[in-house]
Amino acid sequence: MTKPIKQQDRPLTTIERVDLAVARAVELDDKRQPGRSVKAFAGLGDQPPMQLLSAGIVVGALVTHNPRLRQAGLRMLCAHGLSTVAKGLVKNVVDRTRPNATLEGRGYALEPGQSKEKDLRSMPSGHSAGTIAAAGAAMLDYPGAAPVIAAGALSICAAQLPSKNHFLSDVVAGAAIGAASAALACSLIPAAPDGTGVPGS
């Protein structure tokens, strides 16, 4: 039996109405191949894949003796870690149903709360926060690749919508957290003036 989700009593805000309209307009059936493919792509923004990517870059840089790449990987790990902490702080004080639950008719809520239930931890999007954080951190050392990095990161963020992982405002909030985390990581681990990403190298 499908477990019901709590229903809020207050009227929806304009942002919430837009969120619900977008969710209904772009949702994909995850029982069909297009929906499964988009959901798998959206999952690339989850914590384990992003952590593995960042750590893999550091390992690859050490093996190839590439200090610029090493610096980028370390900054990505830092930015991703900061975004994980920040999004967790918000999730722990806000209850919001995920689109999949709402679209299945299990109610809707966005209110203060401390639920640990996955279907009530949609705000903000951790996938978007971590992806934007890591991408922003990498761009400092590889500005020439910024358009490609940004396109990839934004594609993962956008995929959260049809995969019904998050509402639009969840993604926007997560991306903002990610951008702030990347900025902080860049200030903590700055690129060198010579562009190598490693002071004095």
| Residues of the chain scoring pLDDT < 70 | 1-7, 192-201
Reported in sequence order, the residue ranges of the chain that DSSP labels E, i.e. its strands, are 94-96, 110-112
The pLDDT, as a whole number, for residue 193 is 55
Rounded Cα distance between 69 and 76, Å, is: 10
pLDDT per residue over 45-84, tens digit each? 999 999 999 999 999 999 999 999 999 999 999 999 999 9
Q: How far is CA 61 from CA 141, 148, 149, 186, in A?
A: 13, 20, 18, 18
The pLDDT, as a whole number, for residue 10 is 84
Which one, of 86, 123, 87, lies nearest residue 102 by Cα? Answer: 123
The pLDDT, as a whole number, for residue 9 is 73
